[in-house]
Chain A
Amino acid sequence: MVAVDYVVIGAGYAGLKCAETLMDKGFKTLIFDMRESGGEISVFSKLSDFSSKYEKYIEEVEELKKDIPVDIGTVIKSKPVIVNSGNGLKRFEAKRVLLCTGATDVAPAKLNVLGKRVAGIYTLETALRLISDNNRIGNKVLIAAKEDKVVELAESQFYRLGYEVELSELQGDISVIGKDRVEGVEIGGETYNCDTLIVYGGRSSFNPLKLRGTPVGNVVTCTYDYSKVEENVKNFLSKI
């Protein structure tokens, strides 16, 4: 089994930043990602409104992607590190494991989305991923969200792509009406006419396999505000 100093799980902003510093300091470091390097910053880079807002992070990630060799593979165990990839399973012994697995949006059921489970209900994260890949997810979008800067950004992004967009507060029960597809949504006694419902009620840590390691970045901060992610990463790296 190959022994290394650090294994970094996740090659988004936090993972890449950590890997860069660790490699600079001469630690033997490996970094893995399930999909591709860049994480959700890469998703934002494909959306015009998001790409101007996240410009700084996109540029940084693009630079890091050039320098940091990321292995594509899913870490399914962290002690020892076992990685599943198209090339088979690999095992590593790491002195330390960094969890840079990021955050995921809270699921609709937890945000009291009730009524019928029809097509056209998405978390913000899923909706953004889909439109960043040039998929049209509907025409009339209702974004039911808690107050957050990302919501305004999403609103203008959908608007720019030719969607009709309405916003609603995330308050009480959200009742979905429709036969096969969202046809309307009721929130706090008000009925919205829409074919797509996007809900955002915050984020939580993404580490479903409960891998053990030191969490760094958005897995800790759980936000769309990358200044907070940046701060967390800086804090961590200053102690290395």
Chain B
Amino acid sequence: MYDVAIVGAGVTGCFIAKELSKYNLKVIVFERKAAMGLGQTKGCSGIIHAFQLPFNSLKGKLCLEGNAMMDRESEELGFSFKRVGLLLVATNTITKILLPLLKAYFSRYVEVEEVGREEILEMEPNLREDVKGGLLFPSAGVVNPVEMTYAAYRFAKENGVEFKFNSKVKDISRKPNSFVLKTSGGEFEAKYVLNCAGVYADEIAKMVGYELKITPGKGSHVVFNERGFSNHLIAAIPLKPDRRTKGGGALVSVDGKAIWGPNLVDVESKEDTSVTREEIEGLKRKFGRLFKRLPKDVIAYYAGVRSIAGSDFVINQPLRNFINVAGIQSPGLTAAPAIARRVVRVLAASGLELKRKEKLIKYKFTRIRELSEDGIEKLVEQNPDYGEVICLCNLVSKAEILEVVRDFPSFDAVKHITRAGMGCNKCHADIIILMQRECNRTVKDGAGSELIW
């Protein structure tokens, strides 16, 4: 019997697992894909938001709380996090006039400063000369969302949480004091169930008789290879805000590349991550207007599907000991640590006994690209695989790839966790061949996506 079963190993599920791993509990996580973070998490923009409107909503509060926790989380778990700052730009006289008002409003909740035209152009020389001014929110930041999720997963795993990948939860039945989860990998019994199933949270909720409406909302992005095109997250102050989306921005990735997006497109299918020409042109038009030129060298297009359950996050307990953690769309990545903390409180209030472990194991990430020459030298002495570079674009060694491959024979997991193969395609075959040799099975992200037949 498990104490807690978590359905879904996205950023939400993994951060809750990480938090629960600090206590003497038996916790199990089910994930339908081959690795963690390959659903909604992988498709998001990687932004740690400075704020979310409205401030009094659950997502608004958890966003501020999560943002404030992020430095410690990043340090404790070992994922990269950079506070690059958000620059909201006034592109016309109306929004320029509004700047002091907006600043006064925002400063009640979040650190913000007004910046003049010259200062903005100095910070962002590629912006158009006729910007009027703007607001800088220094607490906004960026992460690699899959790496962040992997870091939480590793921490949870090192500290005793069980993970079942390629395991789809097919049905949940209630017993007097527990739940039985029927999965593609057998039956499991748990006292508490946490529904962190993202776009499929409605299906999981339905298994216990609760109606939850999840609407899939697709968001597409264009990724450019040019690093340093812009240094902040940049968006124009809209004349009329959209209630459903912050509207995306000219963003940067944690390794400094330009990412433009996301848009919001209603889609029929929860699996619709297709990117169309229209969307790409739309994004280039929308954000291209802010700059003197476009960033160089498109390297990728990608889309994610948001799980939208009305206008706010849904964290509730529709029946005793079954907790929905659903509708976690933007700013879910930012809020993840705060959501985890809240869910642990909900569990405690529902009678789960929480006893802190005396000792916790920390997982240490090794990235040769972040090391000095001496650092690499020492590492290679311990393990010669650090001396074999597989991906030259992002300087990723065989050892780093094998570390992921041993847990997940998934190309997407390797790519998103280590960044190998994210620059050009040169090393893709090397990665696939390495995975095939190591695991004798290679998928992109899950069943049906086998790369070698």
Contact = CB atoms under 8 A, between A and B. Distances in A.
B444 A119 contact: yes
A206 B433 contact: no
A107 B425 CA distance: 6
A130 B432 contact: yes
A118 interface: yes
B110 interface: no
B304 to A, nearest CB: 11
A84 B273 contact: no
A125 B451 contact: no
B389 interface: yes
B436 A73 contact: no
Interface string A108-140: 111010111111101101100110010111110
Given A109-B300, A180-B449, A116 B274 contact: yes
A117 B272 CA distance: 10
Given A89-B380, A126-B425, A135-B433, A114 B449 contact: no
Which range contains the number of A residues in contact with the other chain? 35 or more
A84 B453 contact: no
B436 A173 contact: no
Contacts of A125: 425-426, 429
B277 A114 contact: yes
B373 A208 contact: no
Interface in B366-401: 368, 373, 376-377, 380-381, 384-385, 387-389, 392-393, 395
A176 B384 CA distance: 40
Contacts of B94: none
Contacts of A86: 380, 384-385, 387-388
A126 B429 contact: yes
Nearest to B378: A88
A114 B271 CA distance: 15
Nearest to A120: B451
Contact of B276 (A109, A114, A137): A114
A118 to B, nearest CB: 7
B302 interface: yes
A45 to B, nearest CB: 16
Nearest to A87: B387
Q: Which of B373, B385, B387, B436 has the most CB of A within 10 A?
A: B387
Nearest to B431: A126
B369 to A, nearest CB: 9
B425 A119 contact: no
Contact of A179 (B411, B424, B425, B448): B448
A209 interface: yes
A139 B453 contact: yes
Given A109-B298, A135-B436, A85 B452 contact: no
A51 interface: no
Interface string B78-89: 000000000000
A84 B376 contact: yes
Q: Which of B274, B276, B448 has the most CB of A within 10 A?
A: B274
Contacts of A126: 425, 428-429, 432
Given A114-B275, A119-B450, A179-B448, A88 B424 contact: no
A121 to B, nearest CB: 9
B299 interface: yes
Interface residues of B, number: 51
Interface string B426-450: 1011101100100000011111111
Interface in B273-332: 273-277, 280, 297-302
A84 B387 contact: yes
Contacts of A118: 444, 449
Given A84-B380, A86-B387, A135-B433, A114 B274 contact: yes
A76 interface: yes
A207 to B, nearest CB: 9
A34 B392 contact: yes
A181 interface: yes
Q: Which of B280, B302, B368, B429 has the most CB of A within 10 A?
A: B429
B449 A119 contact: yes
A137 B297 CA distance: 28
Nearest to B421: A126
A73 B392 CA distance: 12
A78 interface: no
B273 A116 contact: yes
Contact of B452 (A76, A135, A176): A135
A130 B449 contact: no
Contacts of A108: 425
B256 interface: no
A113 to B, nearest CB: 9
A104 B424 contact: yes
A89 B449 contact: no
Kindly list the 4 A-B residue pairs having the minimum CB-CB distance in the complex, ordered from nearest. A129-B429, A86-B384, A180-B448, A119-B449
17 contacts: A84-B380, A85-B380, A88-B377, A104-B426, A109-B223, A114-B301, A115-B275, A117-B275, A117-B301, A117-B302, A119-B445, A119-B448, A122-B428, A180-B445, A180-B447, A208-B392, A209-B392
Given A107-B425, A209-B392, 12 more contacts: A84-B389, A85-B388, A86-B384, A88-B387, A89-B376, A107-B299, A114-B276, A114-B280, A119-B450, A126-B428, A135-B436, A181-B450
Interface of B: 223, 271-277, 280, 297-302, 368, 373, 376-377, 380-381, 384-385, 387-389, 392-393, 395, 411, 423-426, 428-430, 432-433, 436, 443-453
